[in-house]
Amino acid sequence: MTTYLISDFPDVLASRELQVEIDALQQQDPTAIVTQYAYQNQAELLEKLEQTDILITAFLPIDAELLSQLTRLKGIAVNATGTSTIDLKAAAKHGITVQPLGDYSTEDVANHTLGLILALNQKLPAHTRQINAHIWQYEAVGAITRLGSQTLAILGFGRIGQAVAKRAKAFGMTVIAVDPYLPEAVAQKQGVSLVSLSEVFDKADIISLHLFAAADSPPLCDAAFFSQLKRQPLFINVARGCLVDEAALVAALDSGKIRGAGLDVLQSESPELRNSPFLGRDNVILTPHAGFYSQESMAYLQLKTVENAVDIAKGAKHV
């Protein structure tokens, strides 16, 4: 008998049909006992996990303190590609397997990235506001620069970064990338130059983040980062909210160091939007961590996560 807990923030659980996962778990593991918990606090989560063999989650804070108190938990099947909210060193220390998804939404995230770039560059939010005010003048939103004359800097040139580059080059853009872990030949094959961060500061008209990051890592994009930008680029983040110092980003928007921002992620997975400094701006587009989403990606996400969870329960070494 294996006890599985499907748990996440309430809005995350509400966004998908959990019965799909429950049915798949019970089909793949006839001994499965499946429970659900819409996260409220760490104390309640601990109480639930003390009775759990396998946790299925995407975004819950699984820190060292929590993990140190769990004697029964065997593993965590992450229904996302990232593990930034999980202390992986502590999990390994306590013999808890952590298995994220591999490639399941590369196409969707790359398309979402280009959607944000196109909407901001063509100033579609500003056009919409003007038309809602009954103003029918293309020049009312200010100057627009042709996309094909611009340089896109991709920070993190893995699967998603490479998919973004392919789409950007179809629009005639020059693409540069920063990735110290990637062989230069991989980038060269795609017509992309690997560069230093200082070159990004000098050359980028658009910056797009596609990096992994741990939740406790200092933000890469802080006040010092934004202060060095030379060309007032668009700034796109579909990666991890913890990569960006939001106060510094707001200051960069206010000062004109960047000309716009497309953000699919914020520092919080459940942000308080009522007083958000990003709202009410023509040059900012927020989406609710939706870049991965399509019917196809959701179906794969649910079923592959279940497969990973059952493999952990069975003691598989490679899941």
Answer yes or no: are the C-beta atoms of 206 and 171 closer than 8 Å. no
Please report, for residues 133, 136, 153, 191, 284, the alpha-carbon distance to residue 128 in angstroms, rounded to integers and kept in the order given. 9, 10, 28, 36, 13
Catalytic residue among 16, 112, 210, 289: 289
- Residue 173's CB: how many other CB atoms inside 10 A? 19
Measured in residues, the chain has a length of 319
59 φ, ψ (degrees, to nearest 5): -125, 0
Which long-range contacts link 181-188 to residues 24+ away (Cβ below 8 Å)? 182/157, 182/158, 186/157, 186/162, 187/157
Catalytic residue among 210, 231, 259, 269: 269
- Strands, DSSP E only, in the chain? 2-8, 32-38, 54-57, 75-78, 97-99, 151-155, 174-178, 193-194, 206-209, 234-237, 260-263, 284-286
Q: Among residues 286, 281, 278, 226, which one has the least CA distance to residue 252?
A: 226
Answer yes or no: are the C-beta atoms of 241 and 268 closer than 8 Å. yes
Catalytic residue among 210, 240, 246, 259: 240
Show the tokens assigned to 302.
């649910």
Catalytic (active site) residue 240 = yes
Q: Which residues contact 130 (CB under 8 A, 6 or more apart)?
A: 136, 137, 140, 141
Catalytic (active site) residue 289 = yes
Which residues are known catalytic residues? 240, 269, 289
